[in-house]
Homo-oligomer: A and B are copies of this chain.
Amino acid sequence: MRAHPAGPRHGEGQPSGGAPVRPRDPAELARLDPRVWCTTAQRGPGGELVLGGCGVSTLAAQYGTPLFVMDEMDVRQRAAAFRSAYDVPEAPADVYYAAKAFLSATLVRWLVEAGLSVDVCTGGELALVVRAGVPGERILFHGNNKSVAELSAGLDAQVHRFVVDSDVEIDRLAALAAARGLVADVLVRVTVGVEAHTHEFIATAHEDQKFGFSLASGAASQAVRRIAAQPSLRLVGLHSHIGSQIFDSDGFDVAAHRVVGFAATVRDEHAIPVEELNLGGGMGIAYLPSDDPLDAEHMAAQLRSIVQRECLAADLPVPRLAVEPGRAIVGPAGVTVYEVGTVKPVELDQGVVRAYVSVDGGMSDNIRTALYDADYCVVLASRVSLAEPMLCRVVGKHCESGDVVVRDAWLPADLAPGDLLAVAATGAYCRAMASTYNLVPRPAVVGVRDGRAAVLLRRETMEDLLRLDPGL
C-alpha cells in the first residue's frame, strides 16, 4: 500500500522527503508561483492574497476559516483547455470530469457549460449531478460495486455509458435493462498491467487490484463474451485507467498498445467494433513548483498520436477517445485559507528549531498529507512580511500527532496567531474526502470571480453534526 497510486512522488527537481531549500531572500516567501497557484492569485494592496478579485481577509471574515476558495476562472479555463485539447475537429472526443475530485451543483454547471461531461461512481454522485441538471447523455457511471439501486438510478437517468467492472455487474445491469426494455451502452474496464505515476510507470502482466477485467488472464475476453450474450447490453468500447498524478504519456503508451491490441481481439473474435476508447484519468498537477506535468494540449496530442499509431498497426479504425480528468480540472483552482492559532518553536536535535504552526483545520479537511505523504505549498496570506524565513510544519487542531497539513515549509519568523495561511492546489480530494473527526464541522467552499464570492458548499454547523445523534 505504500506505493499508493495517488501518492506524492514528484518531479526530479524536488529532493523527495526533505525540506525545501531555505529561501535566500525573505521576499521569496510571499511569491505566488504560477505553476502552483490558481490563475487569478495575486498580492493585493498591502500584500494580502487576492483570489478571483477577493481579498482573503474579507473572505475569511465573511465565511470563516478554514475556508476552501475555488477560482472560477481557473476551473473554467482548465475545463475549456481540456475540451479544446481533446475534442478536435479531426478527432472528436469526450472529456468527462471525474466528480470524485470535488462535487457541487454550481461547479458541475461550470463544467457542463464548458462542454465537459461528468463521470460519477456512486449513486450519491449521480443523484447530485442529476439534480444539478446534467442530462444523462453527459454522464458516465463508474464504480467497482454498483448496487442494484445504483444501476437502476443510472438507467432511470439514461446515463450515456456504464463502465462495467465485474461479471456480477454485467448480469445485474443486463437484467435491470431488460426489465425496462432498454439497451444499456457499456464500456468494459480492462486492466492492462500498467501502473503509472509521475515520470515512472511499471508494466506487468497481472494487476493486483479491485478494478477491471484482466487482459492477461482472459477475464476481459470473457467479459466481452458475457456482454455480447445479453441483448439488453451493447458493448460500445473499452476503458483503461492507469494511475494518478501522471506527468507524461509514457504509461499511456504501453497501456494504449495493449488495449488497442485487445480491441483487435474483440473485433476478430467477437465481431464487435470498438467505437470508444476511454483512457481514464490521472492527469497530474503541480503541488510544488518542481512538479512538471504535461499540459492538456500536449498530453492530448500525444495520446491521440499514440492511439492513431497503435490502431494503424492493428489495422483498426481509430475509436472515439475519452478521458476523465478530475484533479487536473479543479485541483489547481482550490486554495485553503486557515487562521493560525498557535506558533510553537520545537527544538530538534543539533539545535535545529522547527516551528509548529497550528491552524484551525487539519486532517479533517485535508487527509492527503497523512494518507499519501502529499506535499503542498503554503504562504502567509493576510499580509506580506520581510521577516527572516523560519522552518515550519503546519499542523491541524486534531488530537493526533499525524495531523499535518504541510510537512515542511518556510514561513516568515514573525508569523503570529491571527495570521491567515493559504495552502495551494487543494481543489481536489480535500473537501471531497473531508471528515468530521473530533466533531470539527467541514469548511465552506466559496467560488470567487471578478471580486464576487458565492457559496458552492456551505459550512457545516454543529447542528448538522448533532442532528445525527438521537440521544440529544
Contact with B along A73-107 (1 / 0, CB 8 A): 00000000000000000000000001010011110
Distance between A105 CB and nearest chain B CB, rounded to angstroms: 3
Contact with B along A338-380 (1 / 0, CB 8 A): 0001111011110000101011100000010111010000000
Task: Answer whether residue A271 sits at the interface, using C-beta atoms and an 8 A cutoff.
Answer: no
Distance between A362 CB and nearest chain B CB, rounded to angstroms: 9
The answer on a CB contact under 8 Å between A466 and B128 is yes
A residues 188-245 with Cβ under 8 Å of B? 204-211, 214, 216-217, 219
Which of A146, A168, A400, A439 has the most B CB atoms < 10 Å from its CB? Answer: A439
Which of B5, B122, B395, B402 makes the CB contact (< 8 A) with A397?
A: B122
A5–B465 CA distance with the chains assembled, in angstroms: 28
Known contacts A168-B341, A400-B6, A469-B128: A347-B439 contact under CB 8 Å: no
Distance between A99 CB and nearest chain B CB, rounded to angstroms: 8
Task: Answer whether residue A303 sits at the interface, using C-beta atoms and an 8 A cutoff.
Answer: no
A206–B5 CA distance with the chains assembled, in angstroms: 34
The answer on a CB contact under 8 Å between A346 and B206 is yes
Known contacts A122-B440, A144-B342: A210-B403 contact under CB 8 Å: yes
Contacting residues, chain B, for A4 (C-beta < 8 A): 370, 402
A5–B399 CA distance with the chains assembled, in angstroms: 12
Distance between A62 CB and nearest chain B CB, rounded to angstroms: 15
Which B-chain residue is minimally distant from A243 (CB atoms)? B401
How many monomers of this chain does the complex have?
2
Task: Answer whether residue A70 sits at the interface, using C-beta atoms and an 8 A cutoff.
Answer: no
Contacting residues, chain B, for A456 (C-beta < 8 A): 469-471
The answer on a CB contact under 8 Å between A168 and B397 is no
Which of B132, B206, B455 makes the CB contact (< 8 A) with A348?
A: B206
Distance between A402 CB and nearest chain B CB, rounded to angstroms: 5
Chain-B contact segment, one of A46-54, A381-389, A429-437: A429-437
The answer on a CB contact under 8 Å between B441 and A470 is no
Residues of A within 8 A of B (CB-CB), count: 101
Contacting residues, chain B, for A349 (C-beta < 8 A): 204-206
The answer on a CB contact under 8 Å between A397 and B469 is no
A residues 135-177 with Cβ under 8 Å of B? 142-147, 165-169
Distance between A66 CB and nearest chain B CB, rounded to angstroms: 12
Distance between A39 CB and nearest chain B CB, rounded to angstroms: 22
Task: Answer whether residue A9 sits at the interface, using C-beta atoms and an 8 A cutoff.
Answer: no
Contacting residues, chain B, for A103 (C-beta < 8 A): 439
The answer on a CB contact under 8 Å between B346 and A207 is yes
Task: Answer whether residue A314 sits at the interface, using C-beta atoms and an 8 A cutoff.
Answer: no
Distance between A98 CB and nearest chain B CB, rounded to angstroms: 8
A386–B407 CA distance with the chains assembled, in angstroms: 50
The answer on a CB contact under 8 Å between B468 and A346 is no
Distance between A301 CB and nearest chain B CB, rounded to angstroms: 27
A417–B175 CA distance with the chains assembled, in angstroms: 15
Which B-chain residue is minimally distant from A463 (CB atoms)? B127
- A-B residue pairs, 10 tightest by C-beta: A124-B439, A105-B471, A145-B358, A145-B341, A121-B399, A145-B397, A106-B471, A217-B347, A166-B342, A210-B395
18 residue pairs bridging A and B, Cβ less than 8 Å apart? A98-B399, A105-B471, A122-B440, A124-B436, A131-B466, A144-B342, A144-B399, A145-B341, A146-B397, A166-B342, A166-B358, A204-B349, A206-B347, A209-B401, A210-B393, A216-B347, A455-B470, A458-B469
10 extra A-B contacts, CB within 8 A, seeds A145-B341, A146-B341: A4-B402, A98-B399, A100-B437, A106-B471, A128-B472, A166-B342, A209-B401, A367-B371, A455-B470, A457-B469
